[in-house]
Chain A
Amino acid sequence: KAGVTQTPRYLIKTRGQQVTLSCSPISGHRSVSWYQQTPGQGLQFLFEYFSETQRNKGNFPGRFSGRQFSNSRSEMNVSTLELGDSALYLCASSAGTGGPSPLHFGNGTRLTVT
């Protein structure tokens, strides 16, 4: 079974621009979660989607948004980029059916904002 795939792997953007990151979950997984990882803050939860609906949301500003498609693939968008948005963005998929399903992570998109 193919793992979680995130594209692109690296991205360099300028302040004020917007960016879209993509995540393809493991086949059959209906839940996709997004996390931001920085050296100072660790893994911070952004949001979780299940069957195209946002089910949980972390404490991030509205500039961070996401969506999930009918094939469970997900995208997250960050608008009006700030220097502090530089981070590793990780996507994780799971069965998401309410039990303690482990998260399966991709290797992330490294976003650098200059």
Chain B
Amino acid sequence: SQKIEQNSEALNIQEGKTATLTCNYTNYSPAYLQWYRQDPGRGPVFLLLIRENEKEKRKERLKVTFDTTLKQSLFHITASQPADSATYLCALLNNNDMRFGAGTRLTVKP
């Protein structure tokens, strides 16, 4: 069956460090992978999209990698800040069908 796994349910890091979140998938061949941020009581907000033929994408302090051989995406936040504390969700898109991982709750401590 198809699975999307975000390996850590929760991740705690110190301010200024790099946070690395993992998204693994099985029995999927996604054309695109997206990352979203969700704050408590709010809907997810789109952050970044990466295509299957792209290895890496950057936006300000965010970096996403996509390895279709390993079936894995890594999401990095450099120079993390307490305001980055939120739940981060990966999502796979194939043929208008978008499925989400369970999310990783990131806490950045001052």
A and B: bona fide binding partners: yes
Residues of A participating in the B interface, judged by any CB pair closer than 8 Å: 4, 31, 33, 35, 41-43, 45, 48, 50, 55-56, 90, 92, 96, 98, 100, 102-108
Q: How far is the CA of A100 from the CA of B96 in the complex (A)?
A: 8
Whole-angstrom distance between the Cβ of A70 and the nearest chain B Cβ: 20
The answer to whether B97 touches A103 (Cβ under 8 A) is no
List the B side residues contacting A50 at CB < 8 Å.
Answer: 96
The answer to whether B43 touches A92 (Cβ under 8 A) is yes
Say which residue of A42, A98, A105 sits within 8 Å of B101 (CB atoms): A42
Whole-angstrom distance between the Cβ of B22 and the nearest chain A Cβ: 15
The answer to whether A42 touches B45 (Cβ under 8 A) is no
Q: Tell me whether A43 and B42 are in contact in the complex, defined as CB-CB below 8 angstroms, given that A50-B96, A55-B96, A100-B32 are known contacts.
A: no
List the A side residues contacting B51 at CB < 8 Å.
Answer: 100
Does B86 touch A at the CB level, under 8 Å? no
Interface residues of B in 27-65 (CB under 8 A from A): 31-32, 34, 36, 41-46, 49, 51
The answer to whether A42 touches B96 (Cβ under 8 A) is no
Interface size on B, residues (CB 8 A): 23
10 closest A-B pairs by CB: A105-B43, A42-B102, A102-B46, A43-B100, A100-B32, A56-B97, A107-B43, A105-B44, A107-B42, A90-B43
List the A side residues contacting B93 at CB < 8 Å.
Answer: 100
Q: How far is the CA of A4 from the CA of B45 in the complex (A)?
A: 12
Q: How far is the CA of A96 from the CA of B95 in the complex (A)?
A: 10
Whole-angstrom distance between the Cβ of A55 and the nearest chain B Cβ: 6
A-B contact pairs, 11 of them (CB 8 A): A42-B102, A45-B98, A48-B97, A50-B96, A100-B32, A103-B34, A104-B46, A105-B44, A105-B45, A106-B43, A107-B41
Q: How far is the CA of A52 from the CA of B36 in the complex (A)?
A: 27
List the B side residues contacting A31 at CB < 8 Å.
Answer: 96
Q: How far is the CA of A90 from the CA of B97 in the complex (A)?
A: 16
Q: How far is the CA of A100 from the CA of B49 in the complex (A)?
A: 8
Q: How far is the CA of A104 from the CA of B45 in the complex (A)?
A: 7
Residue in B closest to A41 when the chains form the complex, CB atoms? B102
Q: How far is the CA of A92 from the CA of B36 in the complex (A)?
A: 13
